[in-house]
Structure 1
Amino acid sequence: MSQSENEKLLAEETSAYSSAARVKYYNIVIKSGKGATITDANDRTYIDLLASASATNTGHSHPHVVKAIQDQAAKLIEYTPAYFANDQGARLAPRLTKLAPISGPVELAWGNSGSDANDAIIKYSRAYTGRQYVVSFTGAYHGSTYGSMTVSSVSLNMSRKIGPLLPGVVKVPYPDPWQKLKGESEDDFVERMFNAFKLPFETYLPAEEVAVILIEPIQGDGGICKAPTEYIKKVYQFAHEHGILFAVDEVNQGMGRTGKWWSIERFGVEPDLMSVGKSLASGLPLSAVMGRAEIMNSLESPAHVFTTAGNPVSCAAANATIDVIEDEHLLDRSTKLGKLAEDFFNDAKKKYDFIGDVRMYGLDGGIDIIDPKTGKGDDEATTKLIYRIFELGAIIISLRGNVLRFQPPLVITEEQLKQAFKIIDQAFSELKEGKLSLPDNADEIGW
């Protein structure tokens, strides 16, 4: 292909594709992928450090997943599970509920995306409790349907010009590392943020009218940051003391991403409801809301049915995905390789004064790029870095303007990981030496 094949295809797409439907980063068209690499329309191959926004934890075109898709597609692509079960979905449902970090009988309902799974949390919570209010957190990304968008709080463009959004939603501050005061102890930080959490309940929000508290235990698009364990435990206890359901969004952080099946397993509490998507079917459209059986039976059909949700091909891909995670020990692999990544970025922090906080939970990392003089996030330096890393042959993006998002497929090899480290270190070195400049479309890049 010609050198301009990416540009040619993008030009063809531009007249037919809405600008609201893509967060811009690089002008490439992805043609193929294998394992932890992707290849663009110009036949250039990159190490993938994004894993399709953590939607391909098993890597691109894993042979076992591909075969499962091909075999099922040859037999039955779709017959709506809204009316009849299919054999793949019938096998998958009990398999997935068995993995849920919830004691007692657990049931699920299928969806097409993490967005509708989070909508389902709102539906089931209101139905079960008979209450209207939903509490979520600043910095959250829960999806782009009206319900999931309403409980999100990561970009003004997710509310600008499209209101009114869903009523009855109240947002409280997420205890992210940027909220911590200089010299503040962890205990004092947790107490201060928990007091901020309680403020609405003490001033205008009756706890007895709140149906659910929905949280990402580790925020994804909010910057890959983990809430303090003691904070989660306090919120969990508060919820249960007031008859409020505690729900977690595992769409980004689930399916082995953090070295455990679910990120909530790092906190020692059990959710009442949880949403799953993205890597559930290795990127094919499939999601699930899972929860305690009595909650999941609080609605009657057709309160949560979709024509293609739980279709045979997506369910076959999900069954194969679970096979791969188990057979290839991807939880352990995420933990082991995540430690290598954590060591690399912490070593880099010693060399480069523009690296701030390093957060790594398995192969799941957020690295802050800061202005050394002020200690504040440096969006321009971050954009220079990610673009240079792209030029050198790896795909990485930014969050919050100044956070490097590090989420490679869990099947990445140690050799590929070390090659990515070389690329990143070269970009770090060139930034330090003042050799990097902003790309021409810098003002379009990022969230």
Structure 2
Amino acid sequence: MTNFNKSAELLKEEATSFATAARVKYYDIVIDHGQGAVITDVDGNDYIDLLASASSTNTGHAHPKVAKAIAEQASKLIQYTPAYFANPNAAKLAPKLAALSPISGDVEVAWGNSGSDANDAIIKFSRAYTGRQYIVTFTGAYHGSTYGSMTMSSVSLNMTRKMGPMLPGIVKVPFPDPWEQEADETEQHFVDRMFSQFELPFETYLPAEEVAAIVIEPIQGDGGIIKVPDAYMQKLYAFAKEHGILFCVDEVNQGMGRTGKWWGIQNFPGVEPDLMSVGKSVASGMPLSAVIGRKEIMESLGAPGHLFTTAGNPVTTAASLATLEVMEEEHLVERSAELGQLAKDFFKQEAQEFDFIGNVRMYGLNGGIDIVDPSTGKGDSDATTMIMNRVFELGAIIISLRGSVLRFQPPLVITEEQLKQAFAILHQAFSEYQAGQLTMPTCHHMGW
């Protein structure tokens, strides 16, 4: 029988001094260690990780090469602020990331500590370069938890509730969600209709010549793992170019091989960002982020316009250099595409067997699986909670998005055997739900 004694004790101790706002509620475990695609809690229970620490450990847990790089650098120098002096690792990493980016011409990088401040940087640099104030973002987006990135986000009311006023000059437009497509509507009509909604502000109150940037997740992460329709993206890109608006992409969740390509935007041929934000897996989960962009844009601000005491420090950049080596040596981008196809085939087959599985979206080892009420076709949050809780009981970690979307993002190093074990766990949970054998967990509300 699974034991949770130590986890319960630690969580009780933590609860006396830990803020509710600082953690989204899921499972009552305390994670002690991990290796590859398996994590282990303080009670010794193992779990196949289907979340990869919110897509921040694409190289898996405690990868030997990454761990060695961190340890060796920590024994030499942990921190001396890159805000004043360079360090060898950051000096080597900047040109590597610039060359790896999907941006042509001269490219520059500025460091941060998280994806949140990288998205704040997009606001800063785009306003500085264009001399314009407005930033256009999309509903369903998650860009971070600093004031700028939080204002750009649109995934939870608790990211604005009681905290206003938010950053001025941010305008949100509808994201082309698949749930908005009508049953008898063609893809082209859907794209045209959604793009008309995008254009409406520009026709009524938002002067295009005063818009600095359009910021989009090419594949929306926390909004449900949703790829922008190709035709919509082309229209959006053309609109930005026509009006001198910077086209900016958030690659924090979907970058670093997650989609079967280095960057999510590379799923859209011919579309090239002016600025992009990178974080999470860029240093295998160590606190490092970057804004990457065309040189002339990045040179529009002078110091200290975007710098932080610890951003780009020797340890985090050592981790990132090792991460890039692992990604290349183990062909993790290609591995994401190959194993992602296995996952896509599995979930498509499950959808044929179980009528409560709706749309399946899979791009590399990166998927959103809708759990629906078969009688209405609408998302079923209770069913999702019961299923993911049963998956947890059976030995795997998976969470939900939007209340009724299963988030499937295992580390890219997951073995085929572990993947198949995860499939068996998921199939069992689906079967037991179909048979009416699952009940709601004690904590009914789980997730965002």
Give me the TM-score of the superposition, normalised by structure 2: 0.99
Task: Give the Cα separation in 1 of the matches to 2:100 and 2:3.
Answer: 48
Residue 388 of structure 1 corresponds to: 390
Does the 8 Å contact 2:3/2:45 carry over to 1?
no
What residue identity is the alignment partner of 1:377?
G
Task: Give the Cα separation in 1 of the matches to 2:281 and 2:93.
Answer: 14
Task: Give the Cα separation in 1 of the matches to 2:293 and 2:170.
Answer: 21
Task: Give the Cα separation in 2 of the matches to 1:365 and 1:183.
Answer: 25
Residue 285 of structure 2 corresponds to: 283
Task: Give the Cα separation in 2 of the matches to 1:374 and 1:305.
Answer: 50
Residue 319 of structure 1 corresponds to: 321
Q: 1:209 to 1:338 in 2, by over 3 A?
A: same
Does the 8 Å contact 2:119/2:291 carry over to 1?
yes
How far off is 1:3 after superposition? 4.3
Matches within 5 A, 1:2-401: 3-268=4-269, 269-401=271-403
Does the 8 Å contact 2:118/2:290 carry over to 1?
yes
Moved more, 179-188 or 301-310: 179-188
Task: Give the Cα separation in 2 of the matches to 1:265 and 1:335.
Answer: 13
Task: Give the Cα separation in 1 of the matches to 2:312 and 2:179.
Answer: 39
Q: Once superposed, which parts of structure 1, at least 4 consecutive aligned residues long, lie more than 4 Å away?
A: none
Secondary structure at the aligned position of 1:442 is classed as coil
CA offset digits 1:326-376 (Å, max 9, x no partner): 000001100110000000000000100000000000000000000000000
Q: 1:94 to 1:27 in 2, by over 3 A?
A: same
Task: Give the Cα separation in 1 of the matches to 2:131 and 2:214.
Answer: 14
Task: Give the Cα separation in 2 of the matches to 1:230 and 1:274.
Answer: 21
Q: Is there any run of 5+ residues in structure 2 with no aligned partner, and where?
A: none
Does the 8 Å contact 2:4/2:29 carry over to 1?
no
RMSD (Å), alpha carbons: 0.8
How far off is 1:233 after superposition? 1.0
Matches within 5 A, 1:408-427: 408-427=410-429
How far off is 1:273 after superposition? 0.2
What is the number of equivalent residue pairs in this alignment?
446
Secondary structure at the aligned position of 1:283 is classed as coil
Task: Give the Cα separation in 1 of the matches to 2:4 and 2:171.
Answer: 50
Task: Give the Cα separation in 2 of the matches to 1:185 and 1:2.
Answer: 52
Task: Give the Cα separation in 1 of the matches to 2:321 and 2:180.
Answer: 40
CA offset digits 1:110-168 (Å, max 9, x no partner): 00000000000000000000000000000000000000000000000000000000000
Secondary structure at the aligned position of 1:301 is classed as coil
Secondary structure at the aligned position of 1:363 is classed as coil
What residue identity is the alignment partner of 2:302?
E
How far off is 1:176 after superposition? 1.5
Task: Give the Cα separation in 2 of the matches to 1:155 and 1:53.
Answer: 17
How far off is 1:2 after superposition? 6.9
Secondary structure at the aligned position of 1:32 is classed as strand
CA offset digits 1:164-188 (Å, max 9, x no partner): 0000010000011111111111111
Secondary structure at the aligned position of 1:98 is classed as helix
Task: Give the Cα separation in 1 of the matches to 2:3 and 2:339.
Answer: 37
Task: Give the Cα separation in 2 of the matches to 1:17 and 1:71.
Answer: 33
CA offset digits 1:372-423 (Å, max 9, x no partner): 0000000000000000000000000000000000000000000000000000
Secondary structure at the aligned position of 1:75 is classed as coil
CA offset digits 1:316-335 (Å, max 9, x no partner): 00000000000000011001
Task: Give the Cα separation in 1 of the matches to 2:192 and 2:107.
Answer: 33
What residue identity is the alignment partner of 2:189?
D
Task: Give the Cα separation in 1 of the matches to 2:438 and 2:4.
Answer: 23
Task: Give the Cα separation in 1 of the matches to 2:136 and 2:97.
Answer: 27
What residue identity is the alignment partner of 2:66?
V
Task: Give the Cα separation in 1 of the matches to 2:234 and 2:263.
Answer: 16
How far off is 1:16 after superposition? 1.0
Q: 1:69 to 1:166 in 2, by over 3 A?
A: same
Task: Give the Cα separation in 2 of the matches to 1:123 and 1:2.
Answer: 49
CA offset digits 1:230-276 (Å, max 9, x no partner): 11111111011001000000000000001111000011200000000
Task: Give the Cα separation in 2 of the matches to 1:3 and 1:294.
Answer: 54
Identity score, percent: 70
Task: Give the Cα separation in 2 of the matches to 1:145 and 1:345.
Answer: 35
Task: Give the Cα separation in 2 of the matches to 1:442 and 1:6.
Answer: 20
